[in-house]
Structure 1
Amino acid sequence: MQTGRPASLQLIADGRNTNTAAIALSYGQQIASAYGADLLSQNGGSSPVEIESRAWFNPNLITRWFIVPGLIAVLVLINSILSGALSIAREREEGTFDQLLVAPYTPGEILLGKGTASVITGIIQAVFVVLVAMFWFRIPFQGSIWLLSAALLLFIVTAAAIGLCISSFAQSLQQAIVGTFLLLVPMVMLSGFATPISSMPEIFQSLTLLNPMRYGLELIQRIFLEGASFLDLWPLFAAIMAVTVVAVLAAVFSFHHKIS
């Protein structure tokens, strides 16, 4: 600056930790402004320090760029859990569930058939919502379609397995619907969709580690907007894979327990 040549200084903050990033940027801007004020008082004229703020992956801070990819996860979660929860409960309420048990199918085959229907329904909905996000809302897709497909498939299987767990214990459609929405609300609220996880109390931050919605939401948003690779996302894939295995095992156990 004193040699007469301009110089640049860059400060990068990770916006996923909203509070910490905002505080760090505020301190940085205050330091730069104070330095500019000192130079102004010494040299007179206009301040030689200019502050420019830019947001990565959403430079114009368009709200729908953040909201719509998150809504993909929310809609897929609602559809997959609800369809899984209603599958067995509907059979039990209509009195056709006992007919399934005496049919020449094992309990595992019955559960696989119910789960496959929920997964296929979720995949169809996911494809439709992704296309709407890309071509109707004009959300730029920066990542790999295969990586997004893998993330959505794991997320849908997990949600369908959770729905089958609810359906195994529900005796009627009404119980299945109530149980679904009692579970959906905290899953969405503790996912980081509406409130940053870093802003939650520590006990709720710990609970989010068991929430598949947290991992599905971050995977979809980072693949969609950031274009993150598998090397960047493998911890999230490992976490949602673990939750998927636990959810599937819980569905199998609950189904066998109810019919035994």
Structure 2
Amino acid sequence: MSIRFEKVNYIYQQATPFEHQALYDITLTIPTGSYTAIVGHTGSGKSTLLQHLNGLLKPVSGRIIIGDQEITSLTKNKELGTLRKHVGVVFQFPEAQLFEETVLKDIAFAPKNFGSSEQEALETARQMAKLVDLPEYVFNKSPFELSGGQMRRVAIAGVLAMKPEVLVLDEPTAGLDPKGRIEIMDMFQNLKIQQHLTIILVTHQMDDVARYADNVIVLEKGHLLANNFPEKIFSDSKWLQEHHLALPQATRFAKELQKRADSFNFSKVPLTEEELAIQLIQRINEVKQNDE
């Protein structure tokens, strides 16, 4: 399911003394099946753009085309039901939205709400619980008895139970320790492959952008600054610094190494630890061969 923004503007509290424009003429395309990261400094418009993806907000002007559906300022809320089934959103701290008495009932809530019978909804819930690696012994427990990481998986399974084609992730690893963050992000990567999802990730974690995304959208004060491959975005450290964006750790290490050893050049800017390690090993082997 492709997504297209065409000259989208959004203004909070329009025609009041508190009017604030959050998006300015945003035009971009998110291809079907892509893993797109949306980055930018606080106040850049990331969350506002995200809320347009399933109609929580509608453009003041311009239009958004998601699959076969067009969203404009005139679109009625009752016309957005199908869209909200196809575009699932995992907000920050999604476990805060859990409310049912058991894990399975919580996951089953969305499909029941969209017309599935209780039996069908519970079967879907079981499938989604297994998909996010929840063990069967927690299925009939209260979600509030689980660990923080497991609670988050329950909430994510509840979004997946709608069987969306697009999964929108708003800082999905907020509050998790490094191990938990890696586990959750690897889970999303596996889900993308298994379920053929289009994933849109809003994050401040540049290491996650480098490792998982194949497309990066950069916003600043409501304007679109860039929409390009991660390799292109992270190749210009000066540009990133000017726009208050960080480099992935591996890329930062590589650039520092180049500064200290003028003769050391990377054939390709490494974005991940694995890419960095491969090129360092290649360089060490080259030096050994030259010394022999």
**TM-score, structure 1 length as denominator?**
0.23
Q: Which has the higher strand share?
A: 2
**TM-score, structure 2 length as denominator?**
0.21
Structure number with larger C-alpha Rg: 1
Between the two structures, name the one with larger relative contact order (CA 8 Å, sep ≥ 6): 1
